Amino acid sequence: MKKIAFYGGSFDPLHNGHLTIAQELLEVFELDKFVFIPAFHAPHKKDKKTTSAFHRFAMLCLATSEAPPIEVSKLELELPEKPYTVETLARLKNELSETAIFFVMGADSWADITTWREWEKVLTLVNIIVVTRPDYEIGFAHVTDEIRARIVDLRQNPAEKSEIPRQESKIYITDAVQIDVSATEIRQKIREKSTAWRADVPAAVAKYIEKYELYI
C-alpha cells in the first residue's frame, strides 16, 4: 500500500521549515510521496489577506523542482468554489482508495482545529500527522474523547510509525522536525527592510520575492 502525505496551507511564503517538514516526514513515515496543497484562501481565515495564489504556487514549484518525491498540487486552486479541508480530504480519499493518506498540520492548526468546518470528520477521514514546534506545549483537552483515543504520540513511541492503519485512521504527534520558522515573521522582516529573512527561505524563493516585490 502506497503512503502519501498532503500538507495544506497558505505557504505565504514557503520557508525552510515547510521544506524540512516534507523531507523529514518522507523518511520518518517511509512515505512514497509528499504533496503540498496551497489553499486559494483558507476558509477559517477569512479576515486575513494572503498573497495571490499564483505567487504562492510559483514559489512552491521553484522550491521543490529538484525534489521528485515532493510535489505541488493545484487541487484547491482550480475549483470554482474554494473547498474546505473536509471536502478536499473526502475527494482525495475517494480518488486514492488504495492509498494510505496522511494529512499534515502544524501545532497552530491543531490548536485551532475545532474552528474548522466538520473538524471531527477531518480528524477521522484520513491519518493525521501533527508536527510540533520547539518550546510549544501541545494540548489535547480541546478535542473529544473519541478523537483522543486515536492519538499515537510518536514523541514517546517512535517505533509505532511503521504501523499503517488498516481500518481506523490515527492521529500521529511527532517532534521529528525541530525548526521554528514563521511566515508571519518573514513578512514582517521584509516590511522592515531587514535582510535576515533570506536565510529562512530557499534561494529561489528569496529571488522570486525580491523580483516581484512581495510583502513590502
Contact status, residue 40 vs residue 54, Cβ threshold 8 Å: no
pLDDT tens per residue across span 86-135? 999 999 999 999 999 999 999 999 999 999 999 999 999 999 999 998 88
Query: What is the per-residue pLDDT for 44?
Result: 47
CA distances from 47 to 15, 50, 190 (A): 23, 10, 22
Which pLDDT band, with edges at 50, 70 and 90, does 78 fall under? confident
Helix spans in 29-106 (H): 53-64, 85-95
Cα dihedral value 9, 32, 99, 171, nearest 10: -50
Contact status, residue 134 vs residue 178, Cβ threshold 8 Å: yes
Percent of the residues in the chain that have a pLDDT greater than 90, as a whole number = 77
Query: What is the per-residue pLDDT for 47?
Result: 55
Query: What is the per-residue pLDDT for 134?
Result: 85
Angle at 89 between CA 83 and CA 92, to 5 degrees: 110
Sorted by where each starts, the structural domains of the chain and their CATH numbers stand as: 2-180 (3.40.50.620)
pLDDT tens per residue across span 142-178? 999 999 999 999 987 666 655 555 557 899 999 998 8
Query: What is the per-residue pLDDT for 135?
Result: 81
The more confidently predicted of residues 188 and 164 is 188
